[in-house]
Amino acid sequence: MQSRIEMNDTKARYGAVSRGLHWAMALAFAWIYCSTAAHYLLEDSALDKFLWPTHKQVGLLLMGLLLVRLLWSLLNRHRRPPSLNLAARLGHGLLYTGMFAIPFLGLLRQYGSGRAFSAFGLPVMSGFEGPKIQWMTDLGNSFHGLLGWTLLVLIVGHVAAVILHCIKGQGHILRRMAGSMTSD
Ligand code: HEM
């Protein structure tokens, strides 16, 4: 019998689209946290000068990927692998909340500053004359960085939980996002 790659999720494992989105976002998050760490720990180094200018663009990309991911999970909601327990459901809820709120606050502050913003060579915000929109910049200043570091802690917890499951013999948790994708 011929095996083929499953695009949709099933109760047993995530399909190719969910996995692609998950691992693309993981890579983009690794990149954005490297850019932030280099900016604050190695200010003005060659690494900082290379990575920091990509921070906003990768942040926008993450926002786009998240919106596609939310739509895809909605379309697949009746056939996704179930959460292991309440803690996992809550943890995933917090991760999604952070993944939305952080780039949203970054973009809100960018808009409120009145400065133009383009990403990947495309204009995203044209900017405006006159005073900045104070409540937008204040919200971004107060919460973007704080929530950004909080999300990093949650991501470390998420990875630690998967490792713990593997140690306890529940390797299927990792395999449903990273194992074989073919259906027979
Ligand atoms: C999921 C996406 C994002 C993550 C995880 C993230 C994370 C972070 C973190 C952790 C900081 C350090 C804050 C500090 O220690 O003070 C930071 C700073 C910054 N981010 Fe982001 N960011 C994201 C998206 C964006 C976007 C979309 C923009 C703007 C379009 C943006 C603009 C900035 C700016 C200007 C700073 C420096 C000012 C500050 O300290 O707040 N970020 N970001």
110 alpha carbon – ligand 1 mean position (Å): 10
144 alpha carbon – ligand 1 mean position (Å): 6
Q: Please identify, by atom number, the ligand 1 atom nearest to the C-alpha of residue 99.
A: 1
User: Domains, the chain, ranges and CATH?
Assistant: 4-183 (1.20.950.20)
For 61, other C-beta atoms within 10 Å of its C-beta total 19
Q: Please identify, by atom number, the ligand 1 atom nearest to the C-alpha of residue 149.
A: 10
Token pair of 1 as six digits: 């019998």
pLDDT computed for residue 181 by the predictor: 74
DSSP 81: P
Rounded to an integer, what distance in angstroms lies between the CA atom of residue 43 and that of residue 103?
A: 22
| pLDDT of the chain, 184 residues: tens digit per residue | 567 889 999 999 999 999 999 999 999 999 999 999 999 999 999 999 999 999 999 999 999 999 999 999 999 999 999 988 999 999 999 999 999 999 999 999 999 999 999 999 999 999 999 999 999 999 999 999 999 999 999 999 999 999 999 999 999 999 999 977 765 4
**How does 24-49 read in b/e, with b if 16+ C-beta sit within 10 Å?**
ebeeebebbbebbebbeeeeeeeebe
